[in-house]
Amino acid sequence: MDKRTIIAVALSVVIIIISMVAQNYFFPPPEVIPAGEQAEQTTQSIKPIASEATEGRTGEITEAEDKTTDKVTPEEPAVEEVPSGAVAAEEIREETYTLDTNVFRVTFTNCGGEIESILLKGFRNTDGTPVEMVLSGDSGYNPFSIHYSDFEGVPIDALFKTVPSLTGDKVEFYRNFVSSSGVPFSLRKTYIFKPNDYLIELRISIENSVNEYPDLNFNGLAYSLGFGPQIGPEFEKLDRRNEFRDYSYYVDGKKKKVKIPKEGFLQLEDRVNWIAIEGKYFTAIAVPDATQYRITFDTRPINGVEERSSFYFGRPEIKSSKNIDVFRFYIGPKKRDILLKYNDPKKNGFGMQDMHFEEIVSSSIMLGWLADILKFLLEFFYKLIPNYGLAILFLTIVIKIVFFPLTHKSFESTAKMASVNPMITEIKQKYKSNPQKMNAEVAALYKREGVNPLGGCLPMLLQLPIFFALYRLLSTHFELRGASFIQPWITDLSAPETVWDFSPFAIPIVGWHDLRILPFIMLVTTFIQSKLTQTGDASNPNMKMMTYMMPIMFFFILYDMPSGLVLYWTMQNILSVFQQLYINKKRKRDIDKGGTAPAKGKKPKRGK
């Protein structure tokens, strides 16, 4: 293997390593670390007091009451009815309630006073249905659950009474309880909405009617508020390409990401401004009040939900007869213009300011500026022609024009390399017994003809930053979600295109279960470009390896990438092919006119 081939192979390896490092940096796989020790579970008993609607019931458990018994573990205390002597009335039955705003359709259940469904009216799935932000599966757990314990306890499944709302923007549930020491108290959950806000305010009130504070103390906590077990929309798996879950919090003016142990949990020590579970396009952000809560993220699977993403606020022991805690939850899209509204109290119905929710979609320091430029150009072309696929094609043309001077010089160097190959072959034959002299003559030839043997690698090096910036743009730019190019072929530029889903069968090793056409088109165009830019002897097995292996390598890398990214790569290949054909034709014309390349049969010029 000659020196030039070794250098080319080494440079290719460097490029591959750089791409792999960058890929791991920008979309790393979830960190796998051992789960920590679970917190010790308490067993203090809290009993619901029978209200007017439940008085007169004997010990019989109805079907509605029994539906959540799978939540209770043997260590949990039994839930007992305590008659209050009130006049018997109609039983409380499990019911659901629906509230509509301009942006939400929310379904409540009086079992625990929880939320069963949050539909986003303004955002649709590929089948046209509204995006569901609550994924409870068959777990029996819902968001906004109350636990008389730490985060490992089971939620309250008692049936709550509802309070009719006169304004239409509020849903209220309450239930009377008595602690193990006999102190009665009322638990009230009040949900407040505003017509155009992706925000839910939850007020949790615990009040004692005899001016005593309830002796609620579960390992230092009065209760825990749970949110989970998973946020929407529906997904097949969290592969960090089509969907992912990240966990973060905001404190001291900075957003910080946290790594949760796989199938484990993590507790925060900081007093935070907000915490968040982040998906690819949607997020849930929780804003607590000034209380020092014990915050826990939990990813341990539960029955009915394999991929879990939950968090809990552990409320410290209450030392007053009446206490109200206020939480606010943003549940909606990761759209910067919507998130920015919560920095200006005049732009949101809750008067919130300087929340900096937009940090959820903040760009990275390294390539964020480049992604922002690409986003600006993409939106500009979309306004001219409302098709994001065409906008990507025009964006590719602009990128090609901007880098034309550098790539043109590189391609000319490639063409020159092809023209001096006969001279290099002759030098190698002449000085094959003197490698030092041979290398000196080849170097002199390169200098005399103005050829850079590594110049052909420049286009690839230039494309890598664009490649990763565009990947980031396609992964975070909300408007590309569900954006189609050619129906019914490419229906979502933010996801891989599919013409045939042959699951559950999967191709061994790679695990593919979809047939995609665009990656094959990309493979052909990459091969043609590689063939045209081939600078060495075509019969050289090492050169053949470079010509064929590079396209195949990119085929495997891009097969499951967003179709918008593959479309960009394919278009730039096509443009590069035409550019190289033009340069090769121009080079041949110059040679025919008596350019620097030797005529057929002539000896190459010797250096002095």
pLDDT at 296 over 70: yes
pLDDT at 135 over 50: yes
Average pLDDT, the chain: 80
pLDDT for 469: 86
3-class SS at 175?
A: strand
Query: Omega of the bond prior to 504 within 30 degrees of 0, cis?
Result: yes
Confidence of residue 75 (pLDDT cuts 50, 70, 90): very low
Domain ranges of the chain: 46-241+288-319, 367-592
Helix (H) or strand (E) holding 567: helix 563-592
Cα separation, 77 vs 173, in Å, equals: 23
pLDDT at 64 over 60: no
Q: How many CA atoms lie within 13 A of 602 on its CB side?
A: 10
Residues 6 or more apart whose Cβ sits within 8 Å of residue 507: 513
Question: b/e map of 432-471 (b: 16 or more CB within 10 Å)?
Answer: eeeeeebbebbeebbeebebbbebbbbbbebbeebbbbbb
pLDDT at 156 over 80: yes
pLDDT at 275 over 60: yes
**Nearest Cα residue to 566 out of 578, 553, 557:** 557
Q: Are 271 and 292 in contact (CB under 8 A)?
A: yes
Confidence of residue 431 (pLDDT cuts 50, 70, 90): confident
Question: b/e map of 500-518 (b: 16 or more CB within 10 Å)?
Answer: eeeeeeeeeeeebebebeb
Query: Is residue 253 classed exposed, middle or buried when 0-12, 13-18 and 19+ CB atoms within 10 A define those classes?
Result: exposed
Helix (H) or strand (E) holding 114: strand 114-124
Mean pLDDT in residue range 141-159: 93
Mean pLDDT in residue range 585-606: 59
Residues 6 or more apart whose Cβ sits within 8 Å of residue 292: 271, 316
pTM here is 0.76
pLDDT at 92 over 70: yes
* Between 492 and 329, residue with greater pLDDT: 329
Confidence of residue 471 (pLDDT cuts 50, 70, 90): confident
pLDDT for 544: 62
33 vs 261, 278, 606, CA distance in Å?
A: 5, 20, 64
pLDDT for 454: 63
pLDDT at 123 over 90: yes
Cα separation, 275 vs 293, in Å, equals: 12
Flag the least confident range among 62-71, 131-140, 565-574.
Answer: 62-71
Confidence of residue 78 (pLDDT cuts 50, 70, 90): very low
pLDDT for 540: 52
pLDDT for 476: 74
**Nearest Cα residue to 282 out of 226, 328, 243:** 243
What separation, in Å, do the N-terminal and C-terminal C-alpha atoms of the chain show?
28
pLDDT for 293: 96
Which residues on neighbouring strands pair with residue 218, listed in sequence order?
221
Cα separation, 558 vs 566, in Å, equals: 6
